[in-house]
Amino acid sequence: MGDRHTTDAAARGGLRRGLLMAAGLGALVISAACSNASTTPSTSSTTPPTLRPNVTTTTGGGTTTSGLPPFYAVQTGSVKGLGTIVVDGNGITLYMFAPDKQSGSSTCYGACANGWPPLLLPKGTTTPVAGKGIDKSLLGTTTRSDGTVQVTYNHWPLYLWVGDGQPGQATGQGLNNLGGLWYVLNPAGSVVTTKP
């Protein structure tokens, strides 16, 4: 009788320890999942593209650019349905704004510039960078009303779209948004009105 009582007590103790261990393990799994969720950046189609700093190396004769192009470079990239188009140094699609009328000056300010951020040169930089596939003679700049310098291509001020978050996207193509139509440019500087 005493042995049976001891065996029952031991079984209950073992069951209790097993349940406590399972509960503890479950808490660890939930804690780890929550921890990973809070440190992983969320991606949203309305998040502006992250701008990457220029990668440089210094050699005996001075500083030379190496590795990735600066974010404000203008180069070519490919978008399905649109072909080869003009993109920034991160490979994110660049757009022109029809109301700018290829005048070399921007008409996109305020809410417009929040949705369609202009491609700006960093403070202290005055010359745009021509990346692969770009006709350097078509690159230029325009000074905005706040004194910042915006990059132009074939006299079109260039803009990003907050709806694009990675290379190969052109969700702003053909949109009639914030005062006018938005289109991509091809390497020759011509407006592409095709829908992707």
Q: Rounded CA gap, 144 and 108, in Å?
A: 10
Mean pLDDT estimate for the chain: 78
Alpha carbons 176 and 186: distance in angstroms, whole number: 20
Tell me the whole-structure pTM to 2 decimals.
0.68
Determine the residue type at 156.
W
Range with the poorest average pLDDT among 53-67, 68-82, 154-168: 53-67
The phi, psi pair for 110, rounded to 5°, reads 65, -130
Pairing state between β 83-88 and 139-143: unpaired
* DSSP, residue by residue, the chain: -HHHHHHHHHHHHHHHHHHHHHHHHHHHHHHHHHHHHHHSPP--TTSPPPPPPPPEEEETTEEEE-SSPPTT-EEEEEETTTEEEEEETTS-B-BEEGGGTTSSS----THHHHHS-B-BPPTT--S--B-TT--GGGEEEEE-TTS-EEEEETTEEPB--TT--STT--TTTT-EETTEEEEEE-TTS-EE----
The predicted-structure confidence for 3-49, as pLDDT tens digits, reads as follows: 554 445 444 454 444 444 444 434 333 333 333 333 333 333 333 33
Predicted local distance difference test score (pLDDT) of residue 68 = 81
| Residue ranges covered by each domain of the chain | 1-40, 68-192
